[in-house]
Structure 1
Amino acid sequence: MAWYIKQAGCDLRGETRVNFLVIDDHPLIRSSINTLLTDHFLRAACFESASAEDGMRYLSTHQIGVVLLDLTLPGMGGFEALRCIRQYHPDTFVLILSASNDLYEMQRCIDAGAAGFVNKGETGPVIISAINTILKGEKYIPLILQGQGTEIAKKLKLAEKITQRQRDVLRLLQHGKSNSDIASSLGLTESTVKVYCRDLYKLMGVNNRHQAMQEALRIGLLD
Structure 2
Amino acid sequence: MSAPAILVADDHPMFRSAVLHALREALPQATVFEAASAATLDQVLAAQPQIELVLLDLAMPGARGFSALLHVRGERPEIPVVIISSNDHPRVIRRAQQFGAVGFIPKSSPADAIGQAVAAVLDGGAWFPALTAERSEEDAQLAARLAQLTPQQFRVLLCLADGLLNKQIAHELGLAENTVKVHVTAILKKLNCHSRTQAAVLVRALEPEAMP
Gaps of 5+ in 1: 4-15, 162-216
Contact 1:98 1:119 in 2 (8 A): yes
Closer, same or farther in 2 for the Cα pair 1:30/1:159, shift >3 Å? closer
Deviation, 1:219, is 5.9
Q: In the alignment, which residue of structure 2 is the partner of 1:75?
A: 62
Question: TM-score scaled to structure 2, two decimals?
Answer: 0.63
Q: In the alignment, which residue of structure 1 is the partner of 2:211?
A: 220
Deviation, 1:77, is 3.0
- 2:36 matched to 1:56? no
Q: In the alignment, which residue of structure 2 is the partner of 1:18?
A: 4
Aligned 1:144-163 pairs, distance under 5 A: 145=131, 148-149=132-133, 152-153=134-135, 156-158=136-138
Contact 1:69 1:78 in 2 (8 A): no
Instruction: Please state whether the residue corresponding to 2:58 is helix, strand or coil.
Output: coil
% identical equivalent positions = 32
Aligned 1:111-130 pairs, distance under 5 A: 111-130=98-117
Q: In the alignment, which residue of structure 1 is the partner of 2:121?
A: 134
Of structures 1 and 2, the larger Rg is shown by 1
Q: In the alignment, which residue of structure 2 is the partner of 1:190?
A: none
Contact 1:95 1:115 in 2 (8 A): yes
- 2:29 matched to 1:43? yes
Q: In the alignment, which residue of structure 1 is the partner of 2:71?
A: 84
Deviation, 1:159, is 6.4
Closer, same or farther in 2 for the Cα pair 1:159/1:87, shift >3 Å? closer
Closer, same or farther in 2 for the Cα pair 1:37/1:25, shift >3 Å? same
Closer, same or farther in 2 for the Cα pair 1:40/1:94, shift >3 Å? same
Q: In the alignment, which residue of structure 2 is the partner of 1:195?
A: none
Instruction: Please state whether the residue corresponding to 1:117 is helix, strand or coil.
Output: strand
Cα distance in 2 between the residues matched to 1:218 and 1:60: 30
Runs of 4+ aligned residues of structure 1 deviating over 4 Å after TM superposition are 158-161
Q: In the alignment, which residue of structure 1 is the partner of 2:14?
A: 28
Cα distance in 2 between the residues matched to 1:40 and 1:160: 34
Instruction: Please state whether the residue corresponding to 1:55 is helix, strand or coil.
Output: helix
Gaps of 5+ in 2: 142-207
1:18-59: CA deviations, max 9, x gaps? 111111110000111111112221210111111011011100
Closer, same or farther in 2 for the Cα pair 1:76/1:40, shift >3 Å? same
Q: Which has the higher contact order (CA 8 A, sep 6+)?
A: 2
CA-based RMSD of the aligned residues comes to 2.2
1:110-156: CA deviations, max 9, x gaps? 1111010010010011111111111121121212x1xx35xx10xx2
